């Protein structure tokens, strides 16, 4: 489904003050309670531990938290299961979309799920999937428990190859819906989709699902970066992605953290602030920071490099993008982004520094084949294990730093 270096970040002056204030003010968790005013622990003093809290899932592939404390788990074939820490995993699915979904191949299926911001009142879910019969990448909304009332919002043809479907869906702090789509599959970007603004393949799109505009059941925000660019799809927010299998929105500052799966050299994590709409993340001119295909590199082109990347040594194969920790159970880890590798299960932590660079460290392992990392309504961490079919509760723990160790500056 799937080298680390310093990355300077340029802040407009006014936004620099806001960004710094996010570090200097006492932490507030996503559920509204103040987290302890504790200095963040060095990444080398953190590790992750996990416990399995549910099993028997069939290829669980995406997870999201609900305001009532439940976690919704999407299974690849098209069912959605509910888990609550008090009652466990419900036996019957709360939503069944299998009749609509092409689950053939390893990377097709029900790929993403997120509740509407007003879910407690409406029960509306937004889902991304590969649809029957032609394999289109599909974004839709559906009331929970009412699969016959699916409303398709947006589609993108994706028939030639089964891989690189992307599939994450998430609401931003701006109220818009974000959706990631892979580059069309195969290998080596055969359609040159990453740098082509005329297709949604290899992009993250941003749309307003609270309104309809003309025949479309959504509107394009007027400040989307390519609204007035001839030949470009106005829904595009970011481009130059290979397969952003998982991204997340930081609930504190609204920035996007994107895990983009690499070709074979590096896996990368990108950090995009709300004012960076239109950023070109490089594929397939670049794979991470190295140049991949010079013919796809435009003279004078501006590319936004990842803030963290790791290579394919030591059993690594595919990044599973994660989330920024904003819970209250471990205030020393507040503001730390965690991701994992699908094959090695190694967990990577990344954190912005005051000077605009990033520190990073490997901080342990998750259970086998982590396919998604998400949080519950309180901001605490969970992960899914793909083929073993498990749900895991994840926590941070403090450890003594290794002699001579230190967090790497990236």
Measured distance CA(188)–CA(171) in Å, rounded: 30
Task: With cut-offs at 50, 70 and 90, classify the pLDDT of residue 25.
Answer: very low
**Which residues 6+ apart lie within 8 Å of 104 measured at CB?**
162
pLDDT of residue 39: 80
pLDDT at 350 over 80: yes
**What CA–CA distance (Å, rounded) separates 267 from 320?**
9
Q: Is residue 230 part of a domain?
A: yes
For residue 20, being part of any structural domain is answered with no
First and final C-alpha spacing in the chain: 26
State the Cα–Cα distance between residues 269 and 19, nearest whole angstrom. Answer: 20
Inform me whether the pLDDT recorded for 34 exceeds 50.
no
97-145 pLDDT tens trace: 999 999 999 999 999 999 999 999 999 999 999 999 999 999 999 999 8
State yes or no: pLDDT of 298 exceeds 60.
Answer: yes
pLDDT at 404: 54
How long is the chain? 410
94, part of any domain: yes
Residue-wise pLDDT for 183-231, tens only, equals 999 999 999 999 999 999 999 999 999 999 999 999 999 999 999 999 9
Q: What is the reported pLDDT for 405?
A: 46
pLDDT above 70: residue 305 = yes
Residue 232 burial (CB count, 10 A): 18
The partner residues of 239 in beta bridges, in order of sequence, read 203, 280
CATH of the domain at 113: 2.120.10.30
**Percent of the chain scored above 70 by pLDDT?**
89
> How high is the pLDDT of residue 400?
83
More confident position, 218 or 21: 218
Confidence of residue 403 (pLDDT cuts 50, 70, 90): low
* Residue 6 belongs to a domain: no
* φ, ψ (nearest 5 deg) of residue 58: -105, 105
Task: List the one residue out of 386, 385, 382 whose CA is nearest residue 395.
Answer: 382
Domain assignment present for residue 10? The answer is no
- Is the alpha carbon torsion for 386, 2, 249, 213 positive or negative? negative
pLDDT at 36 over 80: no
**Beta strands at 381-385 and 203-207: parallel, antiparallel or unpaired:** unpaired
Cis peptide bond N-terminal to 133, omega within 30:
yes
Confidence of residue 2 (pLDDT cuts 50, 70, 90): very low
Reported in sequence order, the residue ranges of 266-365 that DSSP labels E, i.e. its strands, are 266-272, 308-311, 319-324, 337-341, 346-352, 358-365
Quote the mean pLDDT of the chain: 91
Whether residue 284 has a cis bond before it, omega within 30° of 0: yes
**For residues 122 and 116, is the Cβ–Cβ distance under 8 A?**
yes
Instruction: Please report which confidence band the pLDDT of residue 401 belongs to, taking 50, 70 and 90 as the band edges.
Output: confident
- Contact present, 341 and 386 (Cβ < 8 Å): no
Segment 325-344 mean pLDDT: 97
Contact 160, 261 (CB under 8 A): no
In whole angstroms, give the CA distance from residue 244 to residue 131. 19
pLDDT mean over 261-280? 97
10 pLDDT more than 50: no
pLDDT for 296 beyond 70 = yes
Tell me, yes or no, whether 5 lies in a domain: no
Q: What is the pLDDT of residue 395?
A: 97
The answer to whether residue 250 scores a pLDDT higher than 90 is yes
Say what the pLDDT of residue 37 is: 42
* Torsion over CA: 194, 200, 202, 207 (sign): positive
User: Residue 18 domain-assigned?
Assistant: no
What residues contact 158, with CB distance under 8 A and at least 6 apart? 130, 135, 136, 137, 165, 181, 182, 184, 185, 201
Q: Which domain holds residue 311?
A: 27-409
Write the CB contacts of 190 (distance below 8 Å, at least 6 apart in sequence): 160, 161, 184
* Structural domain includes residue 13: no
Tally of domains within the chain: 1
């Amino acid at each position: 489904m799937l080298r680390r270096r310093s990355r300077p970040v340029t802040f407009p002056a006014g936004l620099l003050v806001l960004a710094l204030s996010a570090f200097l003010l006492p932490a507030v968790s996503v559920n509204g309670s103040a987290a302890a005013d504790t200095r963040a622990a060095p990444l080398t003093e953190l590790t992750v531990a996990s416990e399995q809290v549910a099993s028997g899932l069939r290829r669980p592939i995406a997870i999201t938290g609900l305001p009532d404390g439940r976690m919704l788990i999407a299974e690849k074939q098209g069912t959605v299961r509910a888990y609550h820490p008090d009652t466990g995993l419900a036996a019957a699915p709360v939503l069944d979309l299998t009749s609509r979904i092409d689950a053939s191949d390893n990377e097709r299926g029900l790929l993403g799920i997120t509740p509407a911001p007003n879910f407690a009142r409406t029960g509306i879910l937004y889902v991304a999937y590969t649809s029957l019969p032609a394999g289109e990448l599909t974004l839709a909304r559906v009331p929970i428990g009412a699969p016959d009332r699916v409303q398709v919002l947006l589609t993108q043809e994706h028939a030639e190859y089964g891989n690189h479907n992307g599939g994450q869906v998430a609401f931003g702090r701006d109220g818009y819906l974000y959706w990631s789509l892979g580059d069309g599959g195969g290998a080596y970007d055969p359609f040159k989709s990453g740098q082509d603004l005329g297709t949604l393949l290899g992009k993250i799109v941003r749309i307003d699902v609270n309104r309809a505009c003309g025949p479309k059941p959504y509107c394009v925000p007027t400040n989307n970066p390519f609204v007035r660019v001839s030949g470009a799809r106005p829904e595009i927010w970011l481009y130059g992605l290979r397969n952003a299998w998982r991204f997340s929105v930081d609930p504190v500052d609204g920035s996007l953290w994107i895990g983009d799966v690499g070709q074979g050299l590096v896996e990368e994590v990108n950090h995009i602030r709300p004012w960076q709409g239109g950023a070109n993340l490089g594929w397939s001119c670049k794979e991470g920071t190295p140049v991949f295909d010079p013919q796809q590199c435009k003279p004078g082109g501006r590319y936004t490099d990842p803030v963290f990347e790791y290579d394919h040594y030591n059993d690594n194969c595919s990044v599973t993008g994660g989330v920024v920790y904003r819970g209250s159970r471990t205030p020393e880890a507040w503001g730390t982004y965690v991701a994992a590798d699908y094959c090695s299960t190694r967990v990577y932590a990344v954190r912005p520094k005051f000077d605009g660079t990033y520190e990073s460290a490997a901080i342990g392992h998750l259970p086998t084949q982590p396919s998604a990392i998400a949080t519950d309504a309180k901001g605490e961490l969970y992960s899914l294990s793909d083929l073993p079919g498990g749900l895991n509760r994840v926590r941070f723990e403090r450890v003594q730093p290794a002699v001579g160790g230190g967090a790497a500056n990236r």
